[in-house]
Chain A
Amino acid sequence: ETGVTQSPTHLIKTRGQQVTLRCSSQSGHNTVSWYQQALGQGPQFIFQYYREEENGRGNFPPRFSGLQFPNYSSELNVNALELDDSALYLCASSRQPGTDYEQYFGPGTRLTVT
């Protein structure tokens, strides 16, 4: 069984730039959720994708957007980067919403905005 993978591992961007992070879900999972984890904090829910559509969203501005592809992989896009966007971005995959609610996390992408 293949686990959740994320790329890249680390990324450095400049304020105002745009970034795309990628995630491949665990085999058998068709739902992907994204989280932002600032240093010393718990992860915060950004949004969830199911059947290639956004299925739920946390308290993040529209410059955070995403995609899910037919193979259930996903992208997180962040436009107009701000210094506060520096964080570990975690992707989690799960089965269909409303089934078992278990989410399995990837290793994360560390984004630094300078």
Chain B
Amino acid sequence: AQSVTQPDIHITVSEGASLELRCNYSYGATPYLFWYVQSPGQGLQLLLKYFSGDTLVQGIKGFEAEFKRSQSSFNLRKPSVHWSDAAEYFCAAVSGGGADGLTFGKGTHLIIQP
């Protein structure tokens, strides 16, 4: 079955430190990959996406993600976090065709320490 795994339920990072959130996928073929962020009481905002080509993709708010086919991973990174980055982060995937909808991981809750 197709699945997306985010191994870390919670991550705590000091403000100004770097961040990496992990995401692994299990699909027959490389899916289309996304990272979304959800602030409390809010909907989901798209941070970035990977469809094909360059394996390092840039997104909004200073985030980037690297696709590694050999590891079935799509990890999200940010060089220096801000207190406003505290939120829930979701990795998602969809296979070609799109009619199955996005498959989401369970999310990683990011806590920023002052």
Contacts and interface: CB of A to CB of B under 8 A. Distances in A.
Nearest to B96: A98
Interface stretch (B13-21, B61-69, B76-84, B101-109): B101-109
Interface residues of A, number: 30
A105 B34 CA distance: 13
Interface in B64-114: 90, 92, 94, 96-107
Contacts of A97: 97-99
Q: Which bracket fits the contact residues of B?
A: 20 to 34
30 contacts: A33-B101, A35-B101, A41-B107, A42-B90, A42-B92, A42-B105, A42-B106, A42-B107, A43-B44, A44-B104, A45-B100, A45-B101, A45-B103, A46-B101, A48-B99, A48-B101, A56-B99, A58-B100, A92-B44, A94-B98, A97-B98, A98-B98, A101-B49, A101-B98, A102-B49, A104-B46, A105-B36, A105-B44, A105-B45, A107-B41
